[in-house]
Amino acid sequence: MEFKRNIIITGGAGFIGSHVVRLFVNKYPEYHIINLDKLTYAGNLANLKDIEDKPNYTFVKGDICDYPLMQKLMKEYKVDGIIHLAAESHVDRSIKDPFTFAHTNVIGTLTLLQAAKEYWESLPEKYDGKRFYHISTDEVYGALKLTHPEGIPAPFSTKASSGKNHEAYGEEFFTEETKYNPHSPYSASKASSDHFVRAFHDTYGMPTIVTNCSNNYGPYQFPEKLIPLFINNIRHRKPLPVYGEGLNVRDWLYVEDHARAIDLIFHKGKIADTYNIGGFNEWKNIDIIKVVIKTVDRLLGRKENEDLNLITHVTDRKGHDMRYAIDSRKLQRELGWEPSLQFEEGIEKTVKWYLDNQAWMDNVTSGDYQKYYDNMYKDR
């Protein structure tokens, strides 16, 4: 079957990646979507049960650091686009094992870039019609000061602005011009990979795009992350470990809104440019936790704030950045994107999904999800 485009999406069995794969497979039946994932602990093919039999979808189990495999896939599928999401992404894990983060995030990205360069430069049309889109994080920018812990009016508003809670906790924001200043091994590895992507444009003329996103939340997130972990712990009345006083501030982006942004930027973004993708929502960790508790208790028929006593303050992690706040107005202004949900609406949808899909959560927390690949693909 001939397809209009052949696109590799790396990390497509992960949290953000599965949403991007689903969107592209369903929205573009004329595209062949190749989901390339190593299926490490956070990769879960059960996230994609609903599209795994679509004729324009192919799954390949593989490591982005495997250069011969990347060369083979480029040629075999005549790849003309790469959306690169595969990464080690948990800061706490990077503190314990920085080598793995450097290997996957830096060497893996470089391996993909070199394989794409080699294949695309071998074609008569060279780089014409090609695109390498690298998804990164706002953590590469470092940290901002918490100069207004009481909150001040934010300088921007969108559909995702949420009244009093849509406040800023400082005057500064990460923009596309903010200098990189990573603090953790994770953010340092992502910063390095970003630089390699830009270098391949500047040196070889490869059509690249980089985006830096804020914290994502929503369905199918591996439950080591704050929101799904706490939803599950509240349900089972387990402690909710909060770093320090819980005053660290993050911007929050609903994952389906992020997938929409990736779709838009892949097709209409300016080559060699950078776009920030955020939710226009700053929240202190402790305030998010209280919203999650209130929502879970209400949906489970418990008394309001019945589970506030589950909050357990623990020693803060090393090098914990105080405030991230991302300015996405460039994307809003140039391409017309903005979040579709207020944060409270997104949390409502997210909590409902996890409560309605307890079997998925149990499958993940038990480790059974790792058997899905063998069960579904051993005879294919």
Catalogue the active-site residues.
138-139, 186
C-beta separation of 45 from 39 below 8 A: yes
Token pair listed for 201: 């444009």
Helix (H, G, I), strand (E, B) or coil at 322: coil
Q: 141 near 212, Cβ under 8 Å?
A: yes
Q: Cα–Cα distance between 172 and 231 in angstroms, integer? A: 31
DSSP-assigned states of every residue in 173-200: -B-TTPPP---SHHHHHHHHHHHHHHHH
In angstroms, the CA 102 to CA 30 distance is 36
3-state SS assignment for residue 77:
coil
Query: Distance (Å, rounded) from C-alpha 214 to C-alpha 96?
Result: 23
Dihedrals φ, ψ of 223, to 5°?
-80, 40
Q: The tokens 């770093």 sit on which residue? A: 243
> Would you tell me the crossing angle of helices 358-366 and 226-235 to the nearest 10 degrees?
110
Please state whether beta strands 249-254 and 81-84 pair in parallel, antiparallel, or not at all (unpaired). Answer: unpaired
DSSP, res 270: P
Q: CA-CA distance, 155 to 168, in Å (whole number)?
A: 8
CA-CA-CA-CA torsion sign (18, 181, 336, 288): positive
Angle at 224 between CA 219 and CA 228, to 5 degrees: 35
d(CA 311, CA 296): 14
Please name the amino acid found at residue 117: K
CB atoms within 10 A of CB 164: 6
